[in-house]
Structure 1
């Protein structure tokens, strides 16, 4: 792929600076049309925020957000605005409990929940004959893993092409980053302040027969210092994993990249503070269908660029949509 790296200003070449500054460039969300649709368990509803094109025959681009993200995350807003300018349909598909919708299912969402990814894509494929998909961070890992699973089983995925952006392809390596140093200091409390209240209110821990477990879990959750602690206490046991290490091992998309059979752009900045550069996949670790794009700068879903003297976060949607256009060209 002939893509240029973002024109990152020198004072944003630090991955943390690029990551945090990108949020300051977030624009006003487009006028979404929201639908509440069942999840894969049939026991809760999830939010789909649509952008509708006047042309019913154009493709749909679906965005799977990151940890505690939504259609109002900076990357989702920019992607949907770009889709709108292109004249396509667009949708941000929210995971359980996200987008302001209470989760009443017996499970939460996590980095390896490919069952939910597949269900969402099948739901949309019933309406739209041509779909492109973008997964960001957690959503990128889940999407890439899903595509690898489908390829391994020789099943056709309902997407023409996909992109995984800033995906933590090796969750154990990402977990190590999050549990120590500057990454822990800058980001961990931000995520825990959102995740812990949701976990405390989770229906699994609120029924009378599980009240002792709920009280014990609530006490433990209040003492979480890292995302690893949270995954040990909540994510792993809730979804049938032995512990966080088992969860990370089974849910990482990296081992599945050799089996991806549809065009997939795997975009990771080398200076992403959420993932050490040595964990990034090489060309020998992916299938011929996977295009690796690893610019030196961009942080975690930052990719701030200076164009014509103006700082913006338009490089990401332009690059992804250019890749989709290239895959559609014979």
Structure 2
């Protein structure tokens, strides 16, 4: 103990600027060595990988996360706060789509400045998100800049519309999305259609792509997902870790419970669940156990999560799919990202940054003063799809035995 006190006395004898310089140098050494890295690309060798390396130059750049919110939860929270305060709401044209079971969803369109034959992109928000969610507005603005016609698919009960049936939505069921896709295609025959999903929206989109396995006519020609919780079991375990992850968990379940209160507000007939018990949920797992599993007919939450997860279903995706994940995502630990599975797929490419949090990916000293990292990925990928990808997808080769996971 004496040596420690002596060391502290010596340290305090130095000028403050000297101590600050030592601490600052240590931090920036750590930052440059541990945080600033090129993303890892997991993809089978072949046409799709070659296409990405040739036409998505951000893959060859280092990602420089904003140093003053480097930690994963800080990235997640500050990204949401900054975007929500700096990005104005978007004026969409709303379409209400009546579904086959009597339910309804809101489709919010942004087509200003686009030709009538421009490609269309469907954007799927996350767990409690809708068309004015801050991360959705980022992607919508980017899509509009590259002259894509945008439609945001708001899940049942979200986006300010009432519920017409007891059914809401969940990660494993993609029949609502299927109806939306068929509706858009029927109104726009011959127009290319792509999609992007964020977090749980990425799960729904992924399960939809899996449902199209072996079908010759793929309604969606290319897709992208961001911060998708590939393995729902691992993701749920991660978000239940105290203290900060658990606080994020409780924030999300609060949003879910607020949505479920619409069942009472809209005077929707109740199903086989106790609404008061549902509203007492403190974690997403508790909410899924008391509500989601009962609404969608699962025997337990494990059965639901098995059906929802897509980390083991990549071999059933036959549409070019670019995936952006962060290695420090509190909603999905690095070891749960299916890099080896993507390494065997000729259609799926997973890109992993060292930092970025969950739907964070802030970069630079002053984030939001320029197009953000995930949006640059988005615009480069879809610009390349429509400018250079016309002959790509039918010619995608079967993966070879030399496929690898590499840092590009």
Task: Say whether the fold is shared (TM-score over 0.5).
Answer: yes
* 8 Å CA contact retained: 1:283, 1:292: no
Structure 1 pair 325–222 and aligned structure 2 pair: CA distance change class (3 A): closer
Query: Which residue, out of 63, 79, 83, partners 2:143?
Result: 83
2:207 aligned with 1:134, yes or no?
A: no
How many Å apart are 1:223 and its aligned residue? 2.7
> Which aligned pairs between 1:131-210 and structure 2 lie closer than 5 A?
131-151=193-213, 153-202=214-263
* 8 Å CA contact retained: 1:6, 1:298: no
Query: Which residue, out of 120, 141, 166, partners 2:180?
Result: 120
- The residue aligned with 1:287 is 345
Q: Report the Cα distance in structure 2 between the residues aligned to 1:288 and 1:183, rounded to whole angstroms.
A: 38
* 8 Å CA contact retained: 1:259, 1:287: no
Residue ranges of structure 1 left out of the alignment (5+ in a row) = none
> Which aligned pairs between 1:1-330 and structure 2 lie closer than 5 A?
1-2=52-53, 3=59, 4-26=61-83, 27-39=87-99, 41-52=100-111, 53-128=113-188, 129-151=191-213, 153-202=214-263, 217-285=274-342, 287-306=345-364, 309-312=365-368, 314-328=372-386, 329=388, 330=391
Residue ranges of structure 2 left out of the alignment (5+ in a row) = 1-51, 54-58, 392-408
Q: Report the Cα distance in structure 2 between the residues aligned to 1:186 and 1:43, rounded to whole angstroms.
A: 36
- Cα deviations by residue, 1:115-172 (Å, 9 ceiling, x for unpaired): 1222211111122311110000001011112112212x33432112100111111111
State the structure with more CA Rg: 2
TM-score normalised according to structure 1 size: 0.90
* 8 Å CA contact retained: 2:157, 2:163: yes
- Cα deviations by residue, 1:276-314 (Å, 9 ceiling, x for unpaired): 1110011434521111111111111111111xx531262
Q: Report the Cα distance in structure 1 between the residues aligned to 2:131 and 2:247, rounded to whole angstroms.
A: 23
TM-score normalised according to structure 2 size: 0.74
Aligned-residue RMSD, C-alpha: 2.3
How many Å apart are 1:32 and its aligned residue? 1.1
User: How many residues in Structure 1 have an aligned counterpart in Structure 2?
Assistant: 322
